[in-house]
Amino acid sequence: MSYSMKHLKTRVCSTLAMAVALGLSATAQAEMLIGFSQIGSESGWRTSETASIKAEAERRGIDLKFSDAQQKQENQIKAVRSFIAQGVDGILLAPVVETGWDQVLKEAKGAGIPVVLIDRGVDADESLYLTKVASDFVQEGALAAAWLAAETNGVCDVVELQGTVGSSAANDRKEGFESVIGNFPSLSIIRSQSGNFTRSGGKEVMESFLKAENGGKSICAVYAHNDDMALGAVQAIKEAGLKPGEDILVVSIDAVPDIFKAMADGDTNATIELNPHLGGPAFDAIKTAKSGREVPKWIKANGPLYLPDTAAEEYKKRSS
Ligand code: GZL
């Protein structure tokens, strides 16, 4: 082998060795190793939540192992078991539905690994998880209903686009909305079905409601458990020859950038903000627990209601 080839080989080997050493030292320096089982990417809000949590982990020097469950609980359970096997310092779990978590949460607890529920809750003993970092969905549903009652003087036949069946977000947003409209005898939900938090799901279900309700003429408003379904409903209402935001009022939750564009265009009427920046409080909770200090069982992250008067400005702020 010629000198230059031999020299080149030595150079490549020493560079590789240095890269490995640097890589190992970087891993060794990671503040924490955290597993994150995310539901999927079903909505604009979910995508921004994932991006925010990844960015926060990066900023803190946390080594984040990410798993996208494609909205399947069995994939989330597999991911949590894999994180346990990796001996992570903590687990973030966004539970797609409320039930079926006891066994895997017991396994994490048995391994001494704290689990932080992020964005949604579970129907399991509180002792099985460290804390829940999430909004109060009941309050969000109640706020949506209070706005609609004020907007319609308590007289409105509403169709409801529910979120994922069995999810705490859908269950609680429905509960909150119904708790308020129960005070208004002429404000009622005439049809309700899940659009699974997706834009296409919202459009399909709204099309069926319009067909069933005299082309939509007997529908006063649509309450969508998230903005993506509301935007799908807006498309269906337009295709039925009606004016969304006028012929049929539209109220939803999440406050994603596109809903502010729709509001500014007069197609929707109100949205309630759902904070996607849940990584910071979640990582802090794990650190607090590891230092032996108490963590509250629910770390709330609620947001305000937005109306068309600030929509253009909010859209500009959020889409830049
Ligand atoms: C609620 C969250 C919901 C959002 C949807 O906190 O779980 O799931 O409202 C998302 O956009 O799909």
List ligand 1's pocket residues with C-beta within 6 A: 42-43, 45-46, 119-120, 135, 163, 169, 197, 226, 228, 253-254, 274
Residue 10 pLDDT exceeds 60: no
Query: Which atom of ligand 1 lies nearest, measured to the CA of 135?
Result: 6
Residue 263 pLDDT exceeds 50: yes
Residue 185 pLDDT exceeds 80: yes
> Average pLDDT of 48-58?
98
Q: Which of 71, 138, 174, 274 to mutate to test the pocket of ligand 1 (most atoms within 8 A of CB)?
A: 274
Taken in order of first residue, the domains within the chain and their CATH numbers are: 32-135+276-301 (3.40.50.2300), 137-274 (3.40.50.2300)
Residue 272 pLDDT exceeds 80: yes
Q: Is 296 exposed, middle or buried (0-12, 13-18, 19+ CB in 10 A)?
A: exposed
Tens-place pLDDT, residues 116-137: 999 999 999 999 999 999 999 9
Q: Could you tell me which residues come within 8 angstroms of residue 55 by beta carbon, excluding any fewer than 6 positions away?
A: 279
Expressed in angstroms and rounded, the spacing between residue 106 Cα and the centre of ligand 1 is: 26
pLDDT at position 259 is 98
What Rg, from alpha-carbon coordinates, does the chain have? 24
CA–CA separation, 163 and 229 (whole Å): 8
pLDDT band at 288 (very low <50, low <70, confident <90, very high): very high
- Which residue, by CA, sits nearest to atom 1 of ligand 1? 169
Residue 106 pLDDT exceeds 60: yes
Query: Which atom of ligand 1 lies nearest, measured to the CA of 42?
Result: 12
Q: Give yes or no for a contact between 162 and 194, defined as CB atoms under 8 angstroms apart.
A: yes
Q: Which of 226, 251, 256, 275 to mutate to test the pocket of ligand 1 (most atoms within 8 A of CB)?
A: 226
- Which residue, by CA, sits nearest to atom 6 of ligand 1? 119
Running DSSP on this structure, what letter comes out for residue 248?
Answer: B
Q: What is the distance of C-alpha 256 from the center of its chain?
A: 11
Say what percent of the chain tops pLDDT 70.
91
- The residue behind tokens 């706020």 is 143
- The residue behind tokens 């200090």 is 293
- The residue behind tokens 């708790």 is 179
The per-residue pLDDT of the chain, averaged, comes to 93
CA–CA separation, 234 and 225 (whole Å): 14
pLDDT at position 30 is 76
pLDDT higher for 288 or 9? 288
| Start-to-end Cα distance in the chain | 57
Instruction: Write the DSSP string, 288-308.
Output: HHHTT----SEEE-EEEEE-G
Task: Give the angle 240-316-39 at the CA atoms, nearest 5°.
Answer: 70
**What pTM value is reported for the model?**
0.89
pLDDT band at 215 (very low <50, low <70, confident <90, very high): very high
Residue 277 pLDDT exceeds 60: yes
CA–CA separation, 218 and 91 (whole Å): 48
pLDDT at position 301 is 85
- Using alpha carbons, select from 319, 282, 318 the residue that is nearest to residue 131: 282
Neighbours of 99 (CB within 10 A): 11
Helices (DSSP H) in the chain: which residue ranges?
A: 3-29, 44-60, 73-86, 102-110, 137-151, 168-181, 199-212, 227-239, 257-264, 279-290, 311-319
Say what percent of the chain tops pLDDT 90.
89
Expressed in angstroms and rounded, the spacing between residue 226 Cα and the centre of ligand 1 is: 7
